[in-house]
Every structure is written in C-alpha cells, then in structure tokens.
Amino acid sequence: MPTNAIELLKSHSLPMLIEEEIQRVILKGEYAPGDRINEKELVLRFGTSRGPIREALRSLESSGLIEQIPNRGVFVRKLSAAEAANMYDVRAVLFALAGRLMAMRATPEEIARLRGFAQAMDEAIARGDVEAYLRGNFALHEFIVTHAGNPVLASQYLSLIKQLRLYRTRNLMLPESMRASNDEHHEMIDAIAAHDPERAASTHLNHVATAKQRLMATPNIA
C-alpha cells in the first residue's frame, strides 16, 4: 500500500473514509434523490464487512443526506417542495446575517480570499469544470459563515446546508446557473469590501432567494 494511503488510514477511521466516498458518489450524481442505496453492493464495492458500512450510513443519515426507512432500506433523501422551500427561507435569513456581520468586520486578507474564490470560479466556468466550480462555491459560502464572528450562526447554517447540499449541487450543474450564481458572488463580495452591512445583507439574501427560484423551477424535488 502506498505511504500516502497508509497515512490516510492512520488519520481517518474506515467508516469515515467510507462515509466520505458514499457522500462523494451521491453528490457526483450516481444516486438521485429517492434512489435506494444497496448495502450489499456497498460491502462488495469497499471490500469490507457490514459494520463500517452501517456506521457510515448512520453518520450520513444524521447529516440529512440519506434516510433509513423501516422494512424498506436506505434511500437518498428526497425533499418535498415545501420542505426545500422552508429550508431555503431559513438559509436565506442566516446567510444575510452572515453577510452583514462580514461587512462589519472583514479584514483586507479575508476580502482577498473571497475575491480569490470568485476568480477561481470564473476560471472554472470558462473551462467548463463543474466540479471545481462546486468546490469553490461551497468553500466561499463556508468561508463567509465561519468568518462572520458568530459560531452559533455558523453551526446552524452548516448543519442546514448539509441537508440541502445534494439539491444545491444539482441546481448548479448548468452553465447558466453557474454564471448567474457567480455574478451574485461578486456583488456580495463588493458589498463586504465596501463595509456596507445593509447592502451585504441584501445581496446575500437575494443570492439564496434566486437559488431557491432556480431550484423550484427544476424537477429535482417532489
């Protein structure tokens, strides 16, 4: 086994590694909302016993990405339109507060980091690299909420978006969605850089509101 793989196993438990891989394939699109996840197939895929598989699935269930239905099995969680709309409404308010707080306290170094995220996403769009764009998108949002100076806000927001991540991923797969979303990112960053709390709150709220509109216009949810 390569040295880097050995080090990875030393720093991560087997269930954690399996959890990360299952999450990756779900977000990549191998499973759609509502699809059943076959435990036996996972055992064969990872060459391990059922124990680590079940532990990984329990962790993914607690994050809201999958759900276990008694007597039926494990399924990728499928949100109803009402559930998704409610989550997006709460997310919008939390993200607006994060933007407001960032505008009040952002350092030049933090603003430079934000502009770096947006530029990297512009470059990913130009070369059609969806995965790189998604990584940058999620990193930008997480950076804002974790640097807003309110740990309770960050905890609540990050917990909520775990349940929405599959839908956010599917919602951003189209080039026009990526372009529109990153244009909004630039507006958000400009407001933070101007240290304008009201403008920052408005642009952050609008960003999530328009994402909600895009999601509701797609067949991703019931």
Beta carbons of 95 and 208 less than 8 angstroms apart: yes
Mean pLDDT of 5-18: 65
Q: Which of 13, 41, 76 is the last residue of a domain?
A: 76
Q: Phi and psi of 68, rounded to 5°?
A: -105, 120
Mean pLDDT of 74-96: 90
Residue 167 sits in the same domain as residue 185: yes
Please report which confidence band the pLDDT of residue 203 belongs to, taking 50, 70 and 90 as the band edges: very high
Q: What is the pLDDT, as a whole number, of residue 2?
A: 45
Q: Using the predicted structure, report yes or no on whether residue 159 has a pLDDT greater than 70.
A: yes
Strands (E), 31-162: 36-37, 66-69, 73-76
Q: Could you say which DSSP state residue 35 is in?
A: P
| Top-confidence residue, 215 or 118 | 118
Mean pLDDT of 157-185: 80
Q: Using the predicted structure, report yes or no on whether residue 26 has a pLDDT greater than 50.
A: yes
Q: Which of 50, 76, 102 is the last residue of a domain?
A: 76
Integer Rg of the chain from CA = 19
Q: What is the CATH number of the domain that holds 41?
A: 1.10.10.10
The percent of residues above 70 in pLDDT, for the chain, comes to: 88
Q: What is the pLDDT, as a whole number, of residue 20?
A: 86
- Classify residue 120: in a domain, yes or no: yes
Q: Which of 124, 122, 79 is nearest to 218 (CA)?
A: 79
- Number of folded domains that form the chain: 2
Residue 172 sits in the same domain as residue 102: yes
Residue 100 sits in the same domain as residue 36: no
- Classify residue 222: in a domain, yes or no: no
| Sheet containing 66-69, strands listed edge to edge, beginning at the edge strand earlier in sequence | 36-37, 73-76, 66-69
Please report which confidence band the pLDDT of residue 12 belongs to, taking 50, 70 and 90 as the band edges: low
Q: What is the pLDDT, as a whole number, of residue 171?
A: 63
Stretch among 59-63, 132-136, 177-181 having the lowest mean pLDDT: 59-63
- The CA distance from 58 to 62, in Å, is 6
Residue 49 sits in the same domain as residue 88: no
Residue 14 belongs to domain spanning: 3-76
Q: For 139-155, how does the pLDDT look when each residue is reduced to its tens digit (9 = 90+)? A: 999 999 999 999 999 99
Angle between helix axes 39-46 and 14-28 (nearest 10 degrees) is 110
- The CA distance from 64 to 77, in Å, is 7
Mean pLDDT of 70-97: 90
